[in-house]
Structure 1
Amino acid sequence: MKRFIVVLLSAALLLTAGYSVWRVMTFDDQSTSVAGHPHYLNGRNIDQMKVVDKTGQSQVLSKLLTGDINIINFWASWCEPCNREMPELVNYYHQKPNHIQVIGMNIQDEHKNRDAFIKKYHADYPMLTADATVRKQYKINNLPTTLFVDNNGKVLKTYLGEMNEQKLNALIQQIEEGN
């Protein structure tokens, strides 16, 4: 009986430790870690987010929100899903309706890696860099993360995970229909 209790307690300890590690690895400040589900940023205003443009100048995001719907995609060059989705985003940018703006937001990259990534995919839409402060303040912990933001800086939808053109069109349609 004593041995059974020791085994049971050991199993409980391992499960607790495993769960704790999982929570840390999935950044428990996120309201969800499942791609596509609602996110705590929805409804929040991010227009005062400070970012850096490609010339190295600090900018406030609100000055860069030119579309009725702005797609802000957070990425890093080392992120495999980011690499897979980038051709889709570039393609979408070239065929998007005029009322939609696409903005790339690099996180956690050295300039040379960021620039090589942009060149590799011929990403010619606006590319910005968010520093660790932005990442922490807005809890952008999962990559890729895509925000759909109105021209006043209000987050309309958030998508965690790899994006493609079909998902973009579906999310834009939901926003335009008020969902």
Structure 2
Amino acid sequence: MNKRLFSVIIISVVIVSLIAAYVWSIGKERGKDVTPPGAAVKEETGVQTGTEVGQRAPDFTLTATGGKAVSLSSFRGRPVVLNFWATWCPPCREEMPAIQSFYEKRGREIQVLAVNLTASEKSAAHVKDFLKAGGYTFPVLLDTHNSTAQEYLVRAIPTTFLIDREGIIRDIHTGPMTVEMLEKAVKKISDQ
């Protein structure tokens, strides 16, 4: 390699490094997070927040069908089955009786949260009618802008996240679940 080409490469690397350091320092000075999009941020505990197994489940607050605001973090200390679904989804409708049966059997020890992907207040009323008609009594939260589903990177429904007492995702299941599948899956988040 000739000396001129080598010099150009070295100068280019130095310039790129200086630009990266400058951008990082500006972000730090302004107190902004300069973590690249999609990267998880470490908490004081060393556990990263994210949507993969082994990461702390991102907190959210949604309105339940009864009108009460519910936050995931309010269930810390209790295992959570977090299910994303929609009334128009045949596999979701297929698994609703299993979720109800599981809730009736284990709902005191394991929190069930079913997040409905709802587009409007009108569809929220439809969700309430659907639950009443099916006799479903487990807690349903309304993700009216699908923002929580997007934050959890839900690509297909139903998708179920199994979250342990510390708020760590221990398993993710895509597709309808049976009572037997739920019982087997919760062993990863429960010591019972």
Q: For this structure pair, what is the TM-score category when the shorter chain's length is used for normalisation?
A: 0.5 to 0.7
1:34-113 matches, cutoff 5 A: 41-63=52-74, 65=75, 68-96=78-106, 98-109=108-119, 110-113=123-126
CA apart distance, 1:172: 1.7
For residues 143 and 169 of structure 1, the distance between their equivalents in structure 2, rounded to whole angstroms, comes to 20
Residues 150, 49 of structure 1: alpha-carbon distance in 2 compared, 3 angstrom cutoff: same
Residues 175, 48 of structure 1: alpha-carbon distance in 2 compared, 3 angstrom cutoff: closer
1:158-173 matches, cutoff 5 A: 158-173=172-187
CA apart distance, 1:170: 1.3
Q: Secondary structure at the match of 2:186?
A: helix
Partner of residue 162 from structure 2, selected from 116, 139, 148: 148
Q: Which runs of 5+ in 1 are unaligned?
A: 1-28, 30-39
For residues 77 and 89 of structure 2, the distance between their equivalents in structure 1, rounded to whole angstroms, comes to 27
Post-superposition Cα deviations, 1:75-129, rounded to whole Å, max 9, x if no partner, equal 1000001111101110111112742121111113511221122112211121111
TM-score w.r.t. structure 1 length?
Answer: 0.67
Percent sequence identity over aligned pairs: 25
Q: Secondary structure at the match of 1:148?
A: strand
Q: Which amino acid is 1:53 matched to?
A: A
Larger radius of gyration: 2
Q: Secondary structure at the match of 1:140?
A: coil
Q: How many residues align?
A: 139
Higher relative contact order (CA 8 A, sep 6+): 1
CA apart distance, 1:154: 1.7
CA apart distance, 1:44: 2.2
CA apart distance, 1:41: 2.3
CA RMSD of the aligned region, Å? 2.5
Which residue of 2 is the match for residue 121 of structure 1?
134
Structure 1 consecutive aligned stretches of length 4 or more whose deviation exceeds 6 Å: none
Q: Which amino acid is 1:86 matched to?
A: M
TM-score w.r.t. structure 2 length?
Answer: 0.63
For residues 101 and 68 of structure 2, the distance between their equivalents in structure 1, rounded to whole angstroms, comes to 27
Q: Which runs of 5+ in 2 are unaligned?
A: 1-37, 39-50
Which residue of 2 is the match for residue 11 of structure 1?
none
